[in-house]
Chains A and B, each alone.
Chain A
Amino acid sequence: MKLEELAHIANEVRQDIIRSLLQAGSGHSAGPLGMADVFTALFFEVAKLDPQNPQWPERDYIVLSNGHICPLLYAVMAQRGFFPREELLTLRKFGSRLQGHPHREALPGLENSSGPLGSGLSQAAGMAYGLRMDQKKNRVWCLGSDGELQEGNVWEAAMFAGKYRLNHLCYIIDRNNIQIDGLTENVMPLEPLRAKFEAFNWHVLEMNGHNFGDILNTLSEAKAILEKPTCVIAHTIPGENVGFMEERFEWHGKSPNAEEAALALKELRSLGGKIECSDHC
């Protein structure tokens, strides 16, 4: 798939995030918008998946650890064909399969339930270990956030994966520098982050989480590392491509109202004002 096509899909995904959050009336905005490019690359180009057969035994496992960015997970799954896009408008509503944090039992294609932070990497490590026991080649992609690294459970898992050299495990960290109470480096500093994972015997890569060429190159390199598990630090801008949300921790756990959603959709549809866009967009 061409990089332009991926960028187009990511833009559609961002619009679906805004629409579903508007309908939901609550939920997280900044993280989902910030990781939209990485998720699009993973779901459309990098990971082995079959939306028609979510239980395909040869599939890659995608484990979302920071469950609160599920508006993005749902939007990208719908774009990929796991379920109809219209269903995105049921986000967080009573009876919906799209719970406010992912619930594995509710929706085919979800590998895990999450919301409480810090346990995704352990689950992903368990999957990678179990698959290796059976000489299977499936990859396990764990997606987590930077604020989540303040959970001790993450480092228990990091120690384990380093000891057992789980080379089919890739942990992608959304390094967007924000969490609910402010900037990560003010709330509880994480740096030097790269050195921390290297010290835990991981291979560490860094990438620009908004450059598809860089994303594809980096994740391809991650696949080529045979000695160790790989940690990819994805540098992203929270709220990316919606100007009034970008880099603002206030938008971590908030959804847009009708006026804000209209403004956000217009900005996305017009590619930030670069092209004309009709009024109803």
Chain B
Amino acid sequence: MSDFPLQPEFLNPTKLLQKPTRDGYGMGLVEAGEQDPNVVALCADLTESTRTEWFAKKFPERFIEVGVAEQNLAALASGLAAVGKVPFMASYATFSPGRNWEQIRTTICLNNQPVKICGAHAGISVGPDGATHQALEDLALMRVLPNMAVIVPADSEEARKATLAAAVWPGPVYLRFGRSATPVFTLPESPFKIGEAYVLKDGSAATIVSTGSAGA
């Protein structure tokens, strides 16, 4: 039997709170910053929409504006990690890890530095922006890299927990977030552990496996 704690109305999305997973990232990042003074946040000119802004307002001395330069964003984060920082670097997934894949591979993964790569506006949830902005390849690009943990949170509550889990994970992490608001069906007490899957509902007719907001 599944004992995974869920919102009582989890099968009725219209009755659930709707929030984008990037909001969970923004909240989790602030919490991670409170817990560890070595947590730093970098952004490539998308501070508001990646929700890095919340961290930047609370810890301005630990926020680094990199400008529209995703290759530098990645390799710079590697250097920060090399001197003991826990860098979270955010942009849109189509730019990061889209444009800076080689820097992520060489300077983050092969160096095994604990950089957290946060790809916002991933997938087709950014629909109106068109094909150039719909990162459909980011998971494949990140999954093939050595030392890399890949996480796609199911809702904003899980995104908050995933961000906190990434902050204490010893190696590189890719966190994927969406733009659109999606139903929040997990609870603060719902478990989250990197590398674990959970049974949401028991049944016998079929097995449905999902990742990310498709779980909603």
B210 smallest CB distance to A (angstroms): 35
Interface string of B139-183 (1 = CB under 8 A from A): 000000000000000000000000000000000000000000000
Decide: A129 near B69, CB < 8 A? Known: A112-B107, A112-B111, A113-B107.
Answer: no
In the complex, the chain B residue whose C-beta lies closest to that of A160 is B72
Residue of B with least CB distance to A152: B71
* Chain B CB within 8 A of A123 CB: yes
Decide if A182 is an interface residue (CB 8 Å cutoff). Answer: no
- The majority secondary structure among interface residues of chain B is helix
CA of A134 to CA of B82 in the docked complex: distance in angstroms?
Answer: 13
Most chain B CB inside 10 Å of its own CB: which residue of A103, A114, A115, A153: A153
**Do B83 and A123 touch (CB < 8 A)?**
no
In the complex, whether B124 has a CB less than 8 A from a CB of chain A is no
- The 6 lowest CB-CB distance pairs between A and B, nearest first, are A126-B79, A122-B75, A156-B72, A156-B69, A123-B79, A130-B83
A129 engages B79 (CB within 8 Å): yes
Contact B76 A129 (CB under 8 A): yes
Task: Give 23 pairs: A residue, B residue, CB < 8 Å, sorted on A.
Answer: A103-B110, A105-B110, A105-B112, A112-B78, A114-B106, A115-B106, A116-B102, A119-B71, A119-B106, A122-B71, A122-B78, A122-B103, A126-B81, A126-B82, A127-B83, A128-B79, A129-B76, A130-B82, A131-B83, A133-B62, A133-B85, A157-B76, A160-B67
Given A113-B110, A116-B106, A133-B62, 7 additional A-B pairs, CB 8 A: A112-B111, A119-B75, A122-B72, A122-B107, A123-B107, A129-B80, A133-B40
Interface centre among A119, A129, A136, A153 (most CB of B within 10 A): A119
Instruction: Determine if A78 is an interface residue (Cβ-Cβ < 8 Å).
Output: no
Q: Does B84 contact A (CB under 8 A)?
A: yes
What's the Cα separation between A224 and B144 when bound, in Å?
A: 45
Is A111 an interface position by the 8 A CB rule? yes
Q: Which residues of B contact A114 (CB under 8 A)?
A: 106
CB distance from A102 to the nearest CB of B (A): 10
- The interface residues of chain B lying within 8 Å CB-to-CB of A105 are 110-112
Closest to A132 in B: B83
User: Least Cβ distance of A167 to chain B in Å?
Assistant: 16
- Residues from chain B with a CB closer than 8 A to the CB of A103 are 110
How distant is B43 from chain A, measured CB to nearest CB, in Å? Answer: 13
Most buried by A among B66, B76, B81: B76
How far, in angstroms, from A119 to B81 measured CA to CA in the complex?
15
Alpha-carbon distance A132/B40, docked complex (angstroms) = 13
Shortest CB–CB separation between residue B189 and chain A, in angstroms? 36
Interface size for B (C-beta < 8 A) is 29
Instruction: Give chain A nearest CB distance to B67 CB in angstroms.
Output: 7
B77 within 8 A of A: yes
A118 nearest CB neighbor, chain B only: B71
How far apart are A105's CB and chain B's nearest CB, in angstroms?
Answer: 6
Total chain A interface residues with beta-carbon distance under 8 A: 33
Complex: A225 Cα to B85 Cα, angstroms: 26
Q: Is A104 in the interface zone, CB < 8 Å from B?
A: yes
Residues of B within 8 A of A128 (CB): 79
- The digit string for B46-89, where 1 denotes a CB below 8 A from any CB of A, is 00000000000000011010110101101111111111110100
User: Using an 8 Å CB-CB cutoff, how does the interface string of B102-123 with A read, 1 for contact, 0 for none?
Assistant: 1100110011100000000000
Knowing A123-B107, A130-B85, the reply to whether A160 touches B79 (Cβ < 8 A) is no
Known contacts A119-B103, A119-B107; decide if A126 and B71 are in contact (CB<8 Å): no
**Contact across chains for A159 and B82 when beta carbons are under 8 A apart:** no
A10 within 8 A of B: no
- Is A124 in contact with chain B by the CB < 8 A criterion? yes
Please report the C-alpha to C-alpha distance between residue A63 and residue B79 in the assembled complex, in whole angstroms: 10
Bound-state CA distance A118–B107 (Å) is 11
Contact residues in B for A153 (Cβ distance below 8 Å):
71-72, 75, 103
The residues of B that contact A63 with a CB separation of less than 8 Å are 79
Q: Is the CB of A159 within 8 A of B69?
A: yes
| Residue from A111, A130, A157 in contact with B72 in the complex, judged by beta carbons closer than 8 Å | A157
A265 within 8 A of B: no
Question: Which residues of A sit under 8 angstroms from B64, Cβ to Cβ?
Answer: 129
Q: Shortest beta-carbon distance, A110 to chain B, in Å? A: 9
Q: Within the assembled complex, what's the spacing in Å between the Cα atoms of A120 and B84?
A: 18
Q: Is the CB of B71 within 8 A of A130?
A: no
The complex places the Cα of A63 from the Cα of B78 at a distance, in Å, of 12
Most chain A CB within 10 A, of B40, B64, B74, B111, is at B111
Can you name the residue of chain A whose Cβ is closest to the Cβ of B65?
A163
Contact between A122 and B110, CB atoms less than 8 A apart = no
A104 to B80, CA, bound (A): 15
- For A134, the chain B residues whose CB sits under 8 A away are 83-84
